[in-house]
Amino acid sequence: MHISTQAVQTGLEWDTRTGSVAVPIYQTATFRHPGLGQSTGYDYSRSGNPTRQTLEDGIARLDGGVRGFAYSSGMAAITNLLLLFKSGDHLIVTEDLYGGTCRLFDKIFTQYGLSFTYVDTSDSAAVQAAVTPATRALFVETLTNPLLKFADLGALSAICREHGLLLIADNTFLTPYLLRPFDLGADITVYSATKYLSGHNDTVAGLVVVKDPQLAEQVYFHQNSVGAVLGPQDSWLTIRGMKTLGVRLDRHQENALRIAGWLQTHPRIRKVFYPGLEEHPDHETMKQDARGFGAMIAFEVDTHALVEQVLLKTRLISFAESLGGVESLITFPEVQTHADIPAELRARLGINNVLLRLSVGIEDADDLIEDLRQALEAGSVGAHCMRPETVD
């Protein structure tokens, strides 16, 4: 069955008693026992809740894994995964990592004896070279942030198999609609469902899927022990968002490709990072492995002054952190999303003071282009006549 169909069908068969098409929000902390030593399958909502489980089953199905887990945020999901390791263990990690993940690893988990080596995971040779006898896992972002590098999971999973490492894929930017990491050899997927999976900039949520039943038991033990679970209401919102994953992503991508192409032609844009562009170094690999290129674009403007101008002058596109929702958002990674990455690493990665990151929404592409144009050209000589009619 196509993944769009599976997404729409999430939870449909759940309520056999009433036939409710939408899964009910089981807003309850606890469940009555039918008898001594008996359970309905639900005892207490930290351990399991039907609405949350519908989401967990749904994401497991989309990813092709054995079991899904829903957490109160993407960070809570990643934190839970790190509990699979113990003091002395070493992990190899994507270098242009989401800032919050980098902070969690470097500022918190190093205190518990884990160590991390940051490498360019789009370069399999660099990953191979970083493996030590203490290495237990490779944590990759399938498409990185903000510079949109794509990891060759097939090559990486071969390295992981050779050295007995777990391959953990943060697939937030692509979602199972565009990339199914298990098909390429990953062991665990993790999502900030705050982004494309819920898709409406209205929920904070995290998801994990595992492929191996034994590993699933371990992850469940940690989920229940730590308790950073997603509440029924937010589980329901995430399910609702997930149902339209296919149509949203189709539109997101269509818009992104047009905008990236247009940005390339603008005289005040120095560089555009979008894997859908043929000159992007990972374009070909991504074309083979993924069903699309996503809808995140990074671009460099020609002066730092223009950064502030664009952030202040865009009208349709909101200056806000986060991504993956129907509303277009723009941010300045150096200060906003990647401030927790050490400055020298930021400089090496090219996260500089002229780089902007755009999460392309599902508005009309012409309106978005017009908004960017007026923001880029506002205040320049003749700007008045070049300005578009007010966008409505």
Ligand X SMILES: *Cc1c(COP(=O)(O)O)cnc(C)c1O
Give the residue numbers annotated as catalytic, written as ranges: 46, 98, 170, 195
Candidates 124, 157, 194, 223: give the one binding ligand X (CB under 6 A). Answer: 194
Amino acid type, 367: D
Q: Are 72 and 228 in contact (CB under 8 A)?
A: yes
Counting contacts by CB under 6 A, is residue 172 touching ligand X? Answer: yes
Of 10, 94, 192, 203, the residue at the interface with ligand X (CB under 6 A) is 192
Q: Which amino acid is at 166?
A: L
User: Which is nearest to 141 in space by CA: 169, 104, 167?
Assistant: 169
Which residue lies nearer to ligand X by CB, 296 or 368?
296
Position 81 contacts ligand X (CB under 6 A) = no
114 binds ligand X (CB under 6 A): no
3-state secondary structure of 2: coil
Question: Under DSSP, is residue 229 helix (H, G, I), strand (E, B) or coil?
Answer: strand
Q: Does residue number 94 form part of the binding site for ligand X (CB under 6 A)? A: no
User: With respect to ligand X, which residue has the nearer C-beta, 127 or 296?
Assistant: 296
**Contact set for ligand X, span 12-41 (CB under 6 A):** none
Helix axes 232-243, 245-265, angle to 10 degrees: 70
The answer to whether 168 contacts ligand X (rule: CB under 6 A) is no
Q: Does 145 interact with ligand X (rule: CB under 6 A)?
A: yes
Torsions phi, psi for 36 (to 5 deg)? -65, 130
At closest approach, how far in Å is the CB of 373 from ligand X?
27
Q: Is 101 in the site for ligand X (CB under 6 A)?
A: yes
Q: Which stretch binds ligand X (CB under 6 A): 97-105, 109-117, 237-245, 288-296?
A: 97-105
**Nearest CB to ligand X, comparing residues 92 and 269:** 92
Asked if 70 and 220 touch (Cβ cutoff 8 Å), the reply is no
Residue with Cβ nearer ligand X (14 or 191): 191
Name the residue nearer to ligand X (CB basis): 31 or 274. 274
**CA dist., res. 209 & res. 219, Å (int):** 9
Does residue 147 bind ligand X (CB under 6 A)? Answer: no
The verdict on 280 binding ligand X (CB under 6 A) reads no
Residues that contact ligand X, how many (by CB under 6 A) = 15
Please tell me the distance from the alpha carbon of residue 145 to that of residue 158, in angstroms, as a whole number: 24
The one-letter amino acid code at 214 reads Q
Residue 344: CB atoms within 10 Å: 8
Binding flag, residue 141, ligand X (CB under 6 A): yes
Residue 201 touching ligand X (CB under 6 A):
no
> How is the beta sheet containing 67-71 ordered, strand by strand?
67-71, 206-210, 188-192, 166-170, 135-141, 90-94, 115-119
Which residues make up the interface to ligand X (CB under 6 A)? 73-75, 98, 100-101, 141, 145, 170, 172, 192, 194-195, 204, 206
